[in-house]
Structure 1
Amino acid sequence: MNGINLLAAEGAEQNPLVPEMYDIVWSAVCLLVIGFAFYKYVIPRLTKVLDERSEKIEGGLKKAEVAQAEAQATLSQYQEQLAEARLEAARIREEARTQGQQILAQLRTEAQAEADRIVAAGHTQLEAQRQQIVTELRSELGATAVDLAEKIIGQSVSDQAKQAASIDQFLAELDASSGIGVGR
């Protein structure tokens, strides 16, 4: 019991919460060795890993910005090409419309010219037929007049020159009395 009392007597003088001086010194030495090893080996590796990671992140952000800028440039180029294509399509439509109107006007002109030609040919043909009918009627009328004159006179009028002169005189008198011209 003596040993226990001795320990208790010494403990009474010293605070149990405060460690001995040799424990503090050896703990400080261990802490300094561990701190030095941590500072010398662990912190540089940790810094290196963090720097690499931040470089990768920054590089990824730069790549993303570059890709976004390229995408934006491509989009603006596409929009410009689309606008040009729309303008070209509008120009082509307008040219086609103009050409269509020109073709239509040309076809109308050609159709009008053809119609005028057909009408003129019809008039010419009608005039020729009229002249032919007038000539036929004159000859028939002349022959009928000669026949009637022979019947009335009772003699034959066989001289062709006299016949033609008589017919012409009769027709001239007939035209003068009725107002119908031969040239119509």
Structure 2
Amino acid sequence: MDAARYVGTLVAFFLIIGLIWWKVVPPIRKMMREKQESIRQQLEEAKRADERLAEAERKYADAVAEAKTEAALIRDAARADAQRMVEEMRTRAAQEVERIKQRGEEHLAQQHQQIIRELRAEIGQAATELAERIVRAHLAGESNRSASVNGFLDELERTSARTGEAVPAGAGEGAS
């Protein structure tokens, strides 16, 4: 009986294995294939995601490089503009300084001319007053007055003689 039991156990074992192989293994295989397919799809998606990430990183690096290039161009343009503005401001300042200097020189020249006119007028007036005082002092005496009039008349006669005009006789002598 041991052999029958052994054979019965063996047949039961094979029946259970057959039943498991027929009813349990196909759904497990199907589930394993689905899992393998899911894993394969996930791996493909991960690979595509890595490719997209690499592409995005490359685009990002390109964008950063382009932005740096643009920033350098903008910075250079800004420096050039700033330099140009500085030069324009220097030129304007130099022109303004020159204009102010010229206006100051013109103003000084006008003041100089005005002072000269005023001095001439004052000197002329002072000279006239001084000459008047000297003449009055000189003509205060009778002899000086008579000599001045006679000298003046003699000068007129000489001037007339040079020009050919005749001076009436006694014109220089009867006036004293």
With normalisation by structure 1, the TM-score equals: 0.61
Distance 1:145 1:27 in 2: 164
Matched, 1:81 2:67: no
Match of 1:61 in 2: 43
Larger deviation, residues 51-60 vs 91-100? 91-100
Match of 1:51 in 2: 33
Match of 2:86 in 1: 104
Distance 2:12 2:90 in 1: 113
Distance 2:78 2:113 in 1: 51
Give the letter aligned to residue 58 of structure 2.
S
With normalisation by structure 2, the TM-score equals: 0.63
* Cα gap change, 1:143 to 1:44, in 2 (>3 Å): same
Larger deviation, residues 104-113 vs 85-94? 85-94
Larger deviation, residues 116-125 vs 131-140? 131-140
Give the letter aligned to residue 64 of structure 1.
A
Distance 2:7 2:94 in 1: 125
Distance 1:72 1:83 in 2: 16
Distance 1:143 1:31 in 2: 157
| Cα offset, 1:85, TM superposition | 2.2
Residue correspondences, number: 137
Summarize deviations over 1:137-163 as a string: whole Å, max 9, x none: 2222222222222222226xxxxxxxx
* Identical counterparts, % of pairs: 34
Summarize deviations over 1:49-104 as a string: whole Å, max 9, x none: 22122111111111211222222222222222222222222222222222122112
Distance 1:90 1:46 in 2: 64
Summarize deviations over 1:153-179 as a string: whole Å, max 9, x none: 226xxxxxxxxxxxxxxxxxxxxxxxx
Give the letter aligned to residue 117 of structure 2.
T
* Cα gap change, 1:132 to 1:35, in 2 (>3 Å): closer
Write out aligned runs for 1:7-156 (5 A): 20=3, 30=12, 33-34=15-16, 36-154=18-136
* Cα gap change, 1:44 to 1:139, in 2 (>3 Å): same
* Unpaired stretches in structure 1, ≥5 consecutive residues: 1-18, 156-184
